[in-house]
């Protein structure tokens, strides 16, 4: 999050799908809704265009673990009124993500208990809800939504936004170096974007109605997305987001810095805003950034060290302090913001220009030569 994170234009299709999901799920909660009334004719009336209706009907008739999503929706539509009331309240509270990131703290919290937690058969209802809503991402986005990237209803599958189109457009939007040979950069750690996957900032396993929410999706590198880094960790504290950054709704906006820490010959993450201290701490813990960046810092240090040794062994020239400074300057001046780990390498350059560190480094190199 050292650099701005922006939504792509195709986020409009995700917003339209989110509206579909929320509208459909709230219809399931209506007292008069039932499994018997959930049919193609009802879907036609709920949707605005023929393609939306056809898409949703086909989606509902797809299967997972030998059960159609239509059966899952019918199960929810047949819930008794008291359970529907709890579900409706939970849906509204868990999908209104923007409300939890007001500039002025309001004390609002996202629900941290499941909507059917108080019922003995709650696990059955939750599984039906979870499987149904997660399928909008697992099947819906992967195969193509009902909407074109600009948010208007598609007329065929070729027009529809899918997982790969969303991921690729996001990556392209955030690349400083647009050349085809350039390495892609992760928007979280600023390292190389290897094995990219779309992260659900707020875990879809706990909040499945956010499975295709534009504010909840961010393509990041596999190292950031997997344990022991983010994985399925929470990005709130008992439902409160006050002490947490968010890639879209509470971005640091250029206030974060990677700073050289001489006592451990590594780097630390800092902010120019003292009020963000806890948020910086949580971000670092979430992704283990300082640990990973320090590893990169030391690795690049060793790479440069060996490069200088190799060069002078080949030439046989004396390595003077002036020559060492020139080589460090030459390397540092070649750093570009479009390359992975630019900020970490810049912190390394600053550390090597420190007079004490430079003298120690020069002495070590002379010993090996």
Query: pLDDT tens for residues 208-261?
Result: 999 999 999 999 999 999 999 999 899 999 999 999 999 999 999 999 999 999
Per-residue pLDDT, 106: 85
- Structure confidence at residue 97 (pLDDT): 94
Predicted confidence (pLDDT) per residue in 5-22, tens digit? 999 999 999 999 999 999
* Cα 247 from chain centre: 7
Helices 342-352 + 289-315 axis angle, to 10: 60
Cβ–Cβ < 8 Å for 334, 307:
no
**Where residue 369 falls among pLDDT bands split at 50, 70, 90?**
confident
Domain regions of the chain by residue span: 11-159, 252-369
Asked if residue 250 lies in contact with residue 37, where contact means CB atoms within 8 angstroms, the answer is: no
Query: Length of the chain, please?
Result: 369
pLDDT tens, position by position, 258-282 = 999 999 899 999 999 999 999 999 9
pLDDT digit string, tens, across residues 100-154: 998 788 899 999 999 999 999 999 999 999 999 999 999 999 999 999 999 999 9
Write down the pLDDT at residue 105. 81
Residue found by looking up tokens 């509902």 in the block: 60
What's the pLDDT tens digit per position in 291-300?
A: 999 999 999 9
Assign 350 a pLDDT band (cuts: 50, 70, 90).
very high
Report in angstroms the alpha-carbon separations of 42 from 28, 84, 138, 336.
Answer: 11, 19, 24, 57
Residue entry with tokens 């080949």: 314
Please write the tens of the pLDDT for every residue from 180-214: 999 999 999 999 999 999 999 999 999 999 999 99
Mean pLDDT, rounded, of the chain: 96
pLDDT at 239: 97
What local confidence, expressed as pLDDT, does residue 102 receive?
Answer: 85
């Amino acid at each position: 999050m050292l650099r701005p994170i922006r939504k792509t234009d195709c986020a409009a299709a995700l917003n339209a799908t989110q509206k579909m999901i929320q509208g459909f799920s709230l219809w399931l909660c209506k007292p008069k809704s039932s499994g018997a009334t959930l049919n193609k004719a009802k879907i036609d009336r709920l949707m605005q265009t023929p393609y939306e209706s056809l898409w949703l009907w086909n989606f509902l008739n797809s299967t997972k673990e030998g059960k159609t999503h239509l059966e899952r929706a019918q199960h929810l539509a047949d819930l008794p009124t008291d359970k529907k009331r709890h579900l409706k309240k939970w849906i509204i509270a868990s999908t209104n993500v923007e409300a939890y990131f007001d500039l002025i703290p309001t004390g609002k919290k996202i629900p941290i208990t499941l909507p059917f937690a108080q019922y003995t058969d709650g696990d059955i209802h939750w599984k039906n809800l979870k499987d149904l809503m997660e399928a909008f991402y697992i099947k819906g986005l992967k195969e193509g939504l009902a909407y074109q990237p600009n948010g208007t209803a598609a007329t065929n599958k070729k027009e529809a936004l899918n997982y790969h189109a969303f991921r690729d457009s996001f990556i392209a939007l955030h690349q400083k170096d647009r050349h085809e040979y350039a390495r892609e950069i992760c928007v979280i750690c600023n390292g190389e974007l290897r094995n990219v996957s779309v992260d659900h900032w707020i875990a879809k396993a706990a909040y499945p109605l956010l499975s295709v929410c534009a504010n909840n999706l961010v393509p990041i590198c596999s190292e950031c997305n997997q344990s022991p880094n983010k994985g399925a960790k929470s990005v709130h504290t008992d439902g409160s987001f006050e002490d947490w950054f968010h890639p879209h709704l509470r971005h640091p906006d250029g206030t974060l810095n990677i700073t050289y820490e001489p006592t451990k010959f590594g780097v630390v993450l800092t902010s120019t805003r003292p009020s963000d201290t806890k948020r910086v701490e949580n971000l670092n813990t979430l992704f283990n950034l300082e640990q990973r960046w320090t590893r990169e810092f030391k690795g690049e240090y060793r790479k440069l060290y060996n490069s200088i040794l190799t060069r002078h062994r080949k030439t046989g020239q004396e390595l003077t302090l002036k020559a060492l400074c020139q080589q460090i300057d030459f390397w540092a001046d070649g750093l570009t913001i479009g390359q992975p780990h630019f900020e970490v390498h810049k912190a390394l350059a600053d550390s090597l220009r420190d007079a004490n560190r430079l003298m120690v480094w020069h002495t070590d190199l002379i010993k090996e030569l």
